[in-house]
Amino acid sequence: MSRLSFWGWGREGAGPDDAARERLAKSLGERFGRPDLRAAPLPRLEEITLRAPRIAPPSALAAIASSDPWERARHTYGRSYRDAVRAQRRDFAHPPDWVAFPRGEAEVAAVLEHCTRERIAVIPFGGGSSVVGGVEANVVGDYRGVVTLDLSRMARVLELDRSSRAARIEAGVLGPALEDQLRPHGLTLRHFPQSFEFSSLGGWIATRSGGHFATRYTHIDDFVEALRVLTPTGVIATRRLPGSGAGPSPDRAFIGSEGALGVITEAWMRLQDRPTRRANASVRFPGYDAGVSAVRALSQSGIEQATVRRLDPGEAATSAGGSGREAILVLGFESADHDLDAWMRRAAELCRDHGGAVPDDALRTRDDAAASREGSAGTWRNSFIGAPYVRDALVSIGVLAETFETAITWDRFERLHGRLIAEVGEALRRVYGAGSITCRFTHVYPDGPAPYYSLLAPARRGSELEQWDEVKRVASDVLAEEGATITHHHAVGRDHRPWYDRQRPEGFARALRAAKAELDPAWVLNPGVLFDRAAARSEP
Ligand SMILES: Cc1cc2nc3c(=O)[nH]c(=O)nc-3n(C[C@H](O)[C@H](O)[C@H](O)COP(=O)(O)OP(=O)(O)OC[C@H]3O[C@@H](n4cnc5c(N)ncnc54)[C@H](O)[C@@H]3O)c2cc1C
């Protein structure tokens, strides 16, 4: 297996090759009337100039520290469009000074102690797949340097409680290694964000990630039974309980804390039996806005779907083999315990009531994983897994490829969606001269959907960041004005701060800052994400 890419998604060399990138440039050049789109060469480490480290690891930490250029470059950015553009420009102006790879909690504590004493910023790092500037090593403040704390060597399932169906797991484990350790026990965490392959348990908890299952158990929040968090002022370990009414939840205080309040070192996670039966269908709805009412009916029906993912006609055409004139609803049920025919029959009725065309062969339970790999569902699944590599290829040919996501209650969805399509579409035309915006629901709840928007536009080389910032501002302002959330599952990081600052109640901001001052008095943990030391709000 090749090593991880220091500048882009996944493993070195795993994305589209040069010929494929040229083909992409040609077809998008024709589509956008931009024959000048060309595939630029991809970055090589020899081309990258890193500033000399400002600080060196102390000898006591030498065994777990690295100042290797490849490691420093790999830990400079997360994996957003802004990150991809800067990395492909060979701009690694703010790498961490060194990277720590603790093998256990005592070494995490030693790093925190050293950094607190020496006034060095510490950035907890799981898989580094943040898309909101959450692991960016460019830290503002009077810090002597920046250390990235990479938890990848803490990756074991430590203990399993079969009767409660839970496991104690180290936070640095990446998705596939976690599932490999649970599989022999017939268990699964069943949390599959699109970044599953290269993101970690600790990162999921710290960012409140959402899995690709659209309903029921999807947010990592619901799987956390107990946490162990190391802060500069000590360990906080919560009690394992199936539920509790004892005051505000200490787990919830750290779920979503984005590395600013402490380092999550391990967690007891609720598990599930591995599903053995599946039923899937791709339901077609004619028309641009069709299918939304069916999704609402499904989400409020009380039947629990594993997947209910509505793709608008644009999304359906690019990722699920749609015609471009119809919306597609990818519908899936899973169980380790019972047949699903009754569930699927009722879902099919609801879809038909709302104008959907349901294929007859959808209405039977299958007992093999292949069921989710066929038809539109399968096409969509393959495109979903390969998309991050294609995104990097698009950046290399000078094309904006980015997403934004939100959630809103059903009563306000139509107005929000209408404004986003109109105003972001207009901004794309104004800023880029051309472009497209498409929408799918990544998650749905009885009281509202989480729509996810994908943007594609031909960028101007050298102005990519300014162009994207302008369009992102339009989108984020609309979300703020309509009372939607600035993020449903991508987290706040540094990039969403101006809008998060407006969304978060001021009294709560004060409480967070007070908690930070108590747990991290030297303010060294991931400064700049979620909140600042001063009360001033950041401006967009
Ligand atoms: C292609 C792609 C697809 C994605 N798909 C999804 C998706 O489907 N659903 C979704 O929710 N998100 C998605 N994301 C966003 C990202 O993968 C998630 O935010 C993920 O949870 C981050 O995990 P990570 O281990 O990579 O964390 P990192 O990027 O390493 O860190 C993210 C944040 O968490 C903090 N952190 C990390 N580990 C710890 C720890 N142990 N203790 C304390 N703080 C910690 C970091 O300091 C940082 O603030 C996607 C990103 C990409 C690039």
- Domain covering 157-273, topology: 3.30.465
Pocket test for ligand 1, best of 151, 209, 531 (most atoms within 8 A of CB): 209
Q: Ligand 1, from 125, 201, 443: best to mutate by most atoms within 8 Å of Cβ?
A: 125
> For the packed helices 81-88 and 464-481, what is the interaxial angle rounded to 10 degrees?
170
Q: Is the CB of 10 under 6 A from ligand 1?
A: no
Burial class of residue 30 in the structure, from the number of CB atoms within 10 Å of its CB (0-12 exposed, 13-18 middle, 19+ buried): exposed
Q: Does domain 284-481 have CATH number 3.40.462.40?
A: yes
Give the C-alpha separation, 283 to 501, whole Å: 40
For the chain, 540 residues long, the average pLDDT of each consecutive 10-residue run is: 93 94 95 94 96 97 98 98 98 98 98 98 98 95 96 98 98 97 96 94 97 76 97 98 96 97 98 91 85 92 85 84 87 90 91 90 67 62 81 97 97 97 98 95 92 96 97 98 98 97 95 96 96 64
Three-class DSSP category at 415:
helix
pLDDT digits (tens, 9 = 90+) for 278-294: 888 889 998 777 889 99
Contact 207, 130 (CB under 8 A): yes
User: pTM of the prediction?
Assistant: 0.95
Residue 240's CB is within 10 A of a number of other CB atoms, namely 12
Q: Which atom of ligand 1 is nearest to the CA of 526?
A: 47
Choosing among 3.30.360.10, 3.30.43.10, 3.40.50.620, 3.20.20.140, the CATH entry for 40-150 is 3.30.43.10
Q: Compute, in degrees rounded to 10, the torsion defined by CA atoms 199, 200, 206, 207.
A: 20
Q: What b/e readout covers 64-74, taking b as 16+ CB neighbours within 10 angstroms?
A: bbbbebebbbb
| Closest CA relative to residue 351, chosen from 302, 285, 426 | 285
* Residue 204 CA, ligand 1 centroid: distance in Å: 5
Residue of the CA atom closest to atom 22 of ligand 1: 203
pLDDT at 472: 98
Residue 258 CA: nearest ligand 1 atom is 49
Distance of CA 318 to the CA centre of its chain: 21
| pLDDT at res. 369 | 61
Question: CA of 58: how far to CAs of 55, 61, 98, 307, in Å?
Answer: 9, 6, 11, 50
Domains 40-150 and 284-481 share a fold: no
Q: Report the first-to-last Cα separation within the chain, whole angstroms.
A: 42
**pLDDT tens, residue by residue, 381-418:** 667 778 899 999 999 999 999 999 999 999 999 999 99
Residue 454 Cβ inside 6 Å of ligand 1? The answer reads no
Domain boundaries of the chain, sorted by first residue: 40-150, 157-273, 284-481, 497-540
Does ligand 1 lie within 6 Å of residue 96's CB atom? no
